[in-house]
């Protein structure tokens, strides 16, 4: 509480400190899966899923609002691509879900890029997010615990591999 209360109150009204706001959530009856709908600062919505298994807790992260790929099995493609998420918006999903997992006494162990969007169509921001989460000054998330799923964007598969 270094700043005067009047300034803190004014900042709270005018400056969005949270990249995402949870607006709806649904959980399975057994509590092993939680889906959260977030709203971005510009009013877009995206989903993130937290899944518990016997020995792990996995967060399924979205990298885009909508998707341009249009896979026939995926409802996200019906939205079309609205926009890429920033690295901060992706990190915010993980931080919130890590808190939710910790509140259940089960630390977050795995991260999968299998939410809304094609990770390799937002390559730079996804790589920034991975770097932040992997960094010991970030969450110190092990590289072997991060999975990036793709619909098959070959140039970026090659780029990631080299």
pLDDT attached to residue 97: 97
pLDDT for res 22: 97
| Pairwise CA distance, residues 26 & 87, whole Å | 25
| Residue 45 contacts residue 65 (beta carbons within 8 Å) | yes
The first and second tokens of residue 119, run together, are 């990770």
Number of other residues whose CB lies within 10 A of the CB of residue 7:
10
- The model scores a pTM over 0.75: yes
* Percent of the chain topping pLDDT 70: 90
- Whether residue 128 is predicted with pLDDT greater than 70 in this model: the reply is yes
| pLDDT of amino acid 41 | 93
Residue 7 pLDDT grade (very low, low, confident, very high; cuts 50, 70, 90): confident
C-beta separation of 97 from 38 below 8 A: no
Q: What per-residue confidence (pLDDT) applies to 138?
A: 85
Fold annotation for 19-161: TIM Barrel (3.20.20)
Residue 75 DSSP label = G
Q: Which of 130-144 are b and which e, b meaning 16 or more Cβ less than 10 Å from the residue's Cβ?
A: bebbbeeeebebeee
- Per-residue pLDDT band for 94 (boundaries 50, 70, 90) equals very high
Cα separation, 123 vs 64, in Å, equals 11
Digit-coded pLDDT (tens) for 14-59: 655 568 999 999 999 999 999 999 999 999 999 999 999 999 999 9
Q: For the chain, which residues make up each domain, given as ranges?
A: 19-161
Distance from C-alpha of 42 to C-alpha of 61, rounded to nearest angstrom: 19
- Tens digit of each residue's pLDDT (9 = 90 or more) over 149-159: 887 776 767 77
């Amino acid at each position: 509480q270094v700043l005067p209360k009047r300034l803190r109150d004014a900042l709270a009204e005018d400056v969005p400190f949270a990249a995402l706001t949870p607006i709806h959530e649904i959980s399975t009856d057994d509590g092993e899966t939680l889906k959260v709908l977030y709203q971005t600062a510009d009013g877009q919505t995206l989903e993130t899923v937290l899944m518990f298994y016997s020995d792990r807790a996995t967060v399924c992260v979205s990298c885009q609002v909508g998707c341009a790929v249009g896979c026939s099995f995926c409802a996200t493609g019906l939205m079309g691509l609205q926009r890429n998420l920033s690295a901060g918006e992706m990190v915010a999903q993980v931080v919130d879900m890590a808190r939710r997992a910790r509140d259940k006494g089960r630390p977050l162990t795995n991260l999968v890029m299998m939410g809304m969007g094609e990770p390799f169509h937002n390559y730079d921001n996804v790589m920034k997010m991975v770097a932040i989460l992997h960094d010991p000054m970030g969450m110190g998330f092990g590289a072997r615990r991060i999975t990036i799923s793709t619909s098959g964007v070959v140039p970026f598969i090659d780029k990631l591999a080299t």
